[in-house]
Chains A and B, each alone.
Chain A
Amino acid sequence: MSIGKINSGGLGHPVAWAAGLAWALLAATRWAVVMATQEGGQCAVIWRWPPWWIPVLIGVAMWAVQLLAASWQQGWLVRQGVERPRARRMAGLAWLPSLALLLVPLAEFLPPVFGGSLAPLALSREAWPLAALAVAGAVFIQTRLAAPDLIRKREEQHHPWLAPVVFFLALALFAGVGARLTQESNRVGKFMGGDEPQYLFNAHSLAVDHDLDLAENIFLRESSYYLDPAKVIGGHGGWTKDGKWISKHRPGLPALMAPFYAWGLYLGQGPRKTATVALWLLAAWMVTEVFWLGRLFTKREGPALLGAAGAAVAMPGLIYSNLAFPEIAAAAFAVSAFRLLRSASPGQWGLLLLAGLLTAYLAWFHERFVILALLLGLYCLARGHWRSLKGLAAFYLPCMVSAWLLITYFMWLYGQPFPGQEIHAQGVYLNPRGFWEGLSGIWVDAGEGMLTYGAIWLAAVAGLVWLLRRRPGDGFWCLAMAGAVYVIAGLFADWFGGINPPSRYMVAAVPFMAVGLAAGAHWGPPRFMLFAAVLGALSLAAAAWVMHYPSAVYGHKLVLGQGLQFPLIDNLLPAFIFNYKTPQVNASLARIWMLLAGAALVAMNLGAQRYGPGRSLAGMALTLVLVATAGIAADRIGAGVLTYANPAQRVVLWNRLSDLPPGGGAWRLGAGTVEPKALMNLPLPPSRYQHGGAKSAAESSQALSIAAGVKPQLFVWGQYLALPPGRYRATARLASPYQGPEQAVWLDLSENKGKSVLLGRKLSGAQLQEPVVLEFQLDRWATNLEFRVGTTGLAPLTVQSMSITRLEP
Chain B
Amino acid sequence: MQLSSFQPLPRRQGIPPWVIWVGVVLLGLILLWPTMQGRELRRMAAQHRVDANWRPDYRLLPLLGLAHQQSVAQGGKLSPGQRDGLWAELEAYKGSYPVFFWLELAWLEARAGDDGRARRALKRAEADNPRLYLAMTKTRLWDPWRERFGLPPR
Q: Check B140 against A242 for contact (C-beta < 8 Å).
A: yes
Pick the residue among A208, A225, A232 that contacts B38 (CB under 8 A): A208
For residue B138, CB closer than 8 A to chain A, the reply is: yes
Instruction: Report B-chain residues with C-beta under 8 Å of the C-beta of A229.
Output: 55, 58, 61, 95
1/0 contact trace for B119-154 toward A, CB 8 Å? 000000000000000001011111100000000001
Which chain B residue lies CB-closest to A262? Answer: B34
- Given A219-B107, A258-B35, A262-B41, do A243 and B154 touch, yes or no (CB 8 Å)? yes
Distance (whole angstroms) from the CB of B79 to the closest CB of chain A: 19
Cα-based distance from A230 to B96 in the complex (angstroms): 5
- B37 and A220 contact, CB distance less than 8 A: no
**In the complex, B103 has a CB within 8 A of chain A:** yes
Give CA–CA (A742, B68) in the complex, Å: 59
Which residues of B lie under 8 Å from residue A245 when comparing CB positions? 139
Question: Interface with A: B3-11, B42-50, B83-91, B109-117, which one?
Answer: B42-50
Asked if B31 lies at the interface with its beta carbon under 8 angstroms from chain A, I say yes
Is A219's CB under 8 angstroms from B35's CB?
Answer: no
Known contacts A266-B34, A268-B48: A232-B100 contact under CB 8 Å: yes
Docked-complex contact B45 and A268, CB < 8 angstroms: yes
Q: Which residues of B contact A (CB under 8 A)?
A: 31-35, 37-39, 41-42, 44-45, 48-49, 51-52, 55, 58, 61, 64-65, 68, 95-97, 100-101, 103-104, 107, 136, 138-143, 154
Determine whether A379 belongs to the interface, using a CB cutoff of 8 Å to chain B: no
Chain B min CB distance to A539 (Å):
34
Can you report 14 A-B residue pairs in the complex whose CB atoms are below 8 A from each other? Answer: A208-B38, A216-B68, A220-B42, A220-B65, A220-B100, A224-B58, A224-B61, A229-B58, A239-B154, A259-B32, A262-B34, A262-B35, A265-B34, A266-B41
Q: Once bound together, how far apart are the Cα atoms of A221 and B55, in whole Å?
A: 14
Enumerate chain A residues within 8 angstroms of B44, measured Cβ to Cβ.
Answer: 265-266, 268
Across the interface, name the chain B residue whose C-beta is closest to A229. B58
Asked if A633 CB lies within 8 Å of chain B CBs, one says no
One of A206, A218, A243, A259 near B31 (C-beta < 8 A): A259
Closest chain B CB from A189 CB (angstroms): 15
CB distance from B56 to the nearest CB of A (A): 11
A195 at the interface (CB under 8 A from B): no
Measured in the bound complex, the distance between the Cα atoms of B139 and A138 in whole Å is 68
Question: In chain B, what residue has the closest Cβ to A244?
Answer: B140
- Answer yes or no: A610 CB below 8 A from chain B CBs: no
Closest approach, in angstroms, between the C-beta of A554 and any C-beta of chain B? Answer: 22
A208 touches B140 (CB 8 A): no
Q: Determine whether the beta carbon of A243 is less than 8 Å from that of B48.
A: no
Given contacts A208-B39, A225-B45, contact A268 B52 (CB under 8 A): yes
Which of B35, B48, B96 is close to A207, meaning CB atoms less than 8 Å apart? B35
Instruction: Determine if A232 and B138 form an interchain contact, defined as CB atoms under 8 angstroms apart.
Output: no
Q: A243-B138, A245-B139 are in contact. Are A219 and B38 (CB under 8 A)?
A: no
Q: How far is the CA of A232 from the CA of B51 in the complex (A)?
A: 24
Residues of B contacting A232 with CB < 8 Å?
A: 96-97, 100
- Residue in contact with B154 in the complex, picked from A206, A219, A231, A241, CB distance below 8 Å: A241
Q: List, in ascending order, chain A residues with CB within 8 A of B45's CB.
A: 208, 225, 265-266, 268
Report the 6 A-B pairs with minimum CB-CB distance, sorted nearest first. Answer: A243-B140, A268-B48, A266-B34, A262-B34, A265-B45, A219-B104
Which residues of chain B are within 8 angstroms of A262 by Cβ–Cβ distance? 34-35, 37, 41
Given the complex, which residues of B lie within 8 Å of A56, measured CB to CB? none
Cβ–Cβ < 8 Å partners of B41 in chain A: 207-208, 262, 265-266
B101 near A209 with CB under 8 A, answer: no
> Which chain A residue shows the least CB distance to B67?
A220
* A243 surroundings in chain B (CB, below 8 A): 138-143, 154
- Whether A239 lies near B138 (C-beta < 8 A) is yes
Q: Which residues of A contact B37 (CB under 8 A)?
A: 262, 266
User: Min CB distance, B110 to chain A, in Å?
Assistant: 13
Which of B38, B68, B100 lies in contact with A210, CB distance below 8 A?
Answer: B38
Which B residue sits closest to A217, measured CB to CB? Answer: B42
Q: When chains A and B are docked, how far (Å) is the Cα of A213 from the Cα of B44?
A: 21
Residue ID in chain B nearest A271 by CB atoms: B45
Closest B residue to A215 by beta carbon equals B139
Which A residues are in CB contact (< 8 Å) with B107?
A: 219
Query: Which residue, A219, A242, A260, has most C-beta atoms of chain B within 10 A?
Result: A219
Asked if A751 is an interface residue, CB under 8 A from chain B, the answer is no
Report chain B residues within 8 Å CB of A523. Answer: none
Indicate whether A72 reaches chain B with its CB closer than 8 angstroms. no
Q: Is the CB of B95 within 8 A of A216?
A: no
Tell me whether B103 and A219 are in contact (CB under 8 A): yes
User: What chain B residues lie within 8 Å of A218 (beta carbons)?
Assistant: 100, 136
19 new A-B contacts, CB < 8 A, other than A220-B61, A220-B64, A232-B97, are A207-B34, A208-B39, A208-B42, A216-B68, A219-B101, A219-B103, A229-B58, A229-B61, A230-B58, A230-B95, A232-B96, A243-B154, A258-B35, A262-B35, A263-B34, A265-B42, A266-B34, A268-B49, A268-B51
A206 CA to B32 CA, complexed, in Å = 12
- The answer to whether A259 and B35 touch (CB under 8 A), given A242-B140, A243-B138, A243-B154, is yes
Q: How far is the CA of A224 from the CA of B62 in the complex (A)?
A: 10
CA distance A213 to B100 in the complex (A): 16
Asked if A222 is at the interface of the complex by the 8 Å CB criterion, the answer is yes
Q: Measured between C-beta atoms, what is the minimum distance from B27 to chain A in Å?
A: 11
Tell me how far the C-beta of B93 lies from the nearest C-beta in chain A, rounded to whole angstroms: 11
Tell me which residues across on chain A come within 8 A of B35, comparing CB atoms. Answer: 206-207, 210, 258-259, 262
Given A207-B34, A207-B41: A216 in contact with B48 (beta carbons within 8 A): no
Q: How far is the CA of A225 from the CA of B45 in the complex (A)?
A: 9
Contacting residues of chain A (237-262) with chain B, CB-CB under 8 angstroms: 239, 241-245, 258-260, 262
Q: Smallest CB-CB separation from B55: which chain A residue?
A: A229
Contact of A216 with B141 in the complex, beta carbons under 8 Å:
yes
Question: Which of chain B's residues have a CB closer than 8 A to the CB of A219?
Answer: 64, 100-101, 103-104, 107, 136
